[in-house]
Amino acid sequence: MSTPVTLEAIRRAPKVLLHDHLDGGLRPKTVIELAEAVGYQELPSTDEATLAKWFRDAADSGSLVRYLETFAHTVAVMQTKDALVRVASECAQDLAADGVVYAEVRYAPELFEAGGLKLDEVVSALTEGFEQGSAAAESAGHRIRVGALLCAMRQNDRALEIAELAVRHRDAGVVGFDIAGPEDGFPPTRCQAAFDYLRDSNAHFTIHAGEAYGLPSIQEAVARCGTERIGHGLRIADDITVAEDGSVTLGRLAAYVRDRGIPLELCPSSNLQTGAAESFEKHPFGQLAGLGFRVTVNTDNRLMSGCTVSSEFDKLASTFDYGWDDIERFTLNAIESVFLDLDERTALIEDVIKPAYAALRA
Ligand SMILES: [Zn+2]
């Protein structure tokens, strides 16, 4: 008899995470301890439970701009080498304990320079932290591998510099590049020089698009910038028409994204908080999965959304009545979209993912 799909069982199943922000995933206790260590006085509370709730409530306001303000606190306590190593290490351990076997965790190095660290030192410290955390997780019985994605902040005009940083570190823990921050007013083509450089360097990148802003940002990311994946991308649903008789028509862009198998890094709980979707029931995840888009399940910001990869899968499973076949399919969608080389991907698929889901179904 197949194992029932419960949160506990999902936690034990191997999962792959493509879209998770390091500065959106700190443990509340760590925020408090790091703030104390550096004398940061601005935290709204120094009680762990109260602070955790404050992050969720502040992020719940319904606007992406307000949501991004919560990062002032996490970023403020991540300005020393020790703090960066600790945050990255705990991130790897928390994801591993949730059953994630491979994660691409992203962060913007330019946000961690205020304490005097240079960009290369920031990246080296975080790589060291991910390695430490992965080793600690393995000792605790959970094997994980973490690759980093370096984000450039769209509003800061440093995309080429950060893209060059990503390429410098690509054989040392960094697997790709992204642009993050406010979408509205900062279209992907503002960073065109960075994307051209990355393509010339045979380097990987994804682009946040179609979250706060609609189809034009997805169109630019795909057609002009040549992105390999789309961060969020849920607004691709705006290019899909459902007639009264239930028949579905895809616009040119939606058809291109689906037919080319361009991965969508969907993050449902985060979308509810920023107002990009109204509820799990109304989230386009179900429609996009049903139409054959390459959908993946992600957390975005675990602290602000109070979520884990497993809790996102659990909510999707109960909303859309997904079983292990679906959960495995979304996991395979994710592993086939990672920026790892083919040998490593294949090993994870054949040795870890497929046997585990076969056992859950047995
Ligand atoms: Zn994001």
With 0.95 as the threshold, say if the pTM is over it.
yes
Contact 40, 76 (CB under 8 A): yes
Q: Residues with catalytic annotation? A: 211
Q: Which residues contact 48 (CB under 8 A, 6 or more apart)?
A: 28, 29, 32
* 98 in any annotated domain: yes
Give the pLDDT confidence score for residue 69 in this predicted structure. 74
DSSP structure string for 141-195: T---EEEEEEEEEGGGT-HHHHHHHHHHTTTTTEEEEEEES--TT--GGGGHHHH
Tens digits of residue pLDDT in 338-348: 999 999 999 99
Q: How far is ligand 1, taken at its centre, from the CA of residue 361, in Å?
A: 32
Residue appearing with tokens 């994204």: 257
Total domains present in the chain? 1
Residue 30: pLDDT over 80: yes
What is the Rg, in whole angstroms, of the alpha carbon atoms belonging to the chain?
19
Residue 147 CA, distance from chain mean position: 12
Rounded distance, CA 16 to CA 299, Å? 11
Residue 213: pLDDT over 90: no
Alpha helices in the chain (DSSP H): 7-12, 28-38, 48-59, 64-69, 71-76, 81-97, 119-139, 159-168, 192-200, 215-219, 252-259, 268-274, 285-290, 302-305, 309-320, 324-335, 342-347, 354-361
Tens digits of residue pLDDT in 167-202: 999 999 999 999 998 888 899 999 999 999 999 999
Tens digits of residue pLDDT in 55-82: 998 888 766 666 777 999 999 999 999 9
Structure tokens at 145: 């591998």
Tens digits of residue pLDDT in 144-164: 999 999 999 999 999 999 999
Average pLDDT estimate for 9-31: 98
Q: How far is ligand 1, taken at its centre, from the CA of residue 343, in Å?
A: 28
Residue appearing with tokens 């076969």: 358
261 assigned ligand-binding residue: no
* 38 in any annotated domain: yes
Q: Which residues contact 57 (CB under 8 A, 6 or more apart)?
A: none
DSSP structure string for 97-155: HTTEEEEEEEE-GGGG-TTS--HHHHHHHHHHHHHHHHHHHHHTT---EEEEEEEEEGG
* 50 in any annotated domain: yes
* 2 in any annotated domain: no
Q: How far is ligand 1, taken at its centre, from the CA of residue 181, in Å?
A: 8
21 assigned ligand-binding residue: yes
314 assigned ligand-binding residue: no
300 assigned ligand-binding residue: yes
Q: How far is ligand 1, taken at its centre, from the CA of residue 142, in Å?
A: 25
Give the pLDDT confidence score for residue 263 in this predicted structure. 98
CATH number at residue 124: 3.20.20.140
Could you tell me what percent of the chain has a pLDDT over 70? 99
* 145 in any annotated domain: yes
Give the pLDDT confidence score for residue 183 in this predicted structure. 83
Tens digits of residue pLDDT in 230-256: 999 999 999 999 999 999 999 999 999
Contact 283, 318 (CB under 8 A): no
Give the pLDDT confidence score for residue 65 in this predicted structure. 66
Tens digits of residue pLDDT in 250-294: 999 999 999 999 999 999 999 998 888 889 999 999 999 999 999
* 246 in any annotated domain: yes
Tens digits of residue pLDDT in 301-344: 999 999 999 999 999 999 999 999 999 999 999 999 999 999 99
Could you tell me what percent of the chain has a pLDDT over 90? 90
Give the pLDDT confidence score for residue 248 in this predicted structure. 97
Residue 217: pLDDT over 70: yes
Residue appearing with tokens 């034009």: 216
* 12 in any annotated domain: yes
232 assigned ligand-binding residue: no
Residue 121: pLDDT over 70: yes
Give the pLDDT confidence score for residue 182 in this predicted structure. 81
Average pLDDT estimate for 347-358: 98
Rounded distance, CA 152 to CA 160, Å? 8
Q: How far is ligand 1, taken at its centre, from the CA of residue 297, in Å?
A: 12
* 1 in any annotated domain: no
Residue 18: pLDDT over 90: yes
Structural domain harbouring 332:
7-361
Angle at 210 between CA 181 and CA 300, to 5 degrees: 55
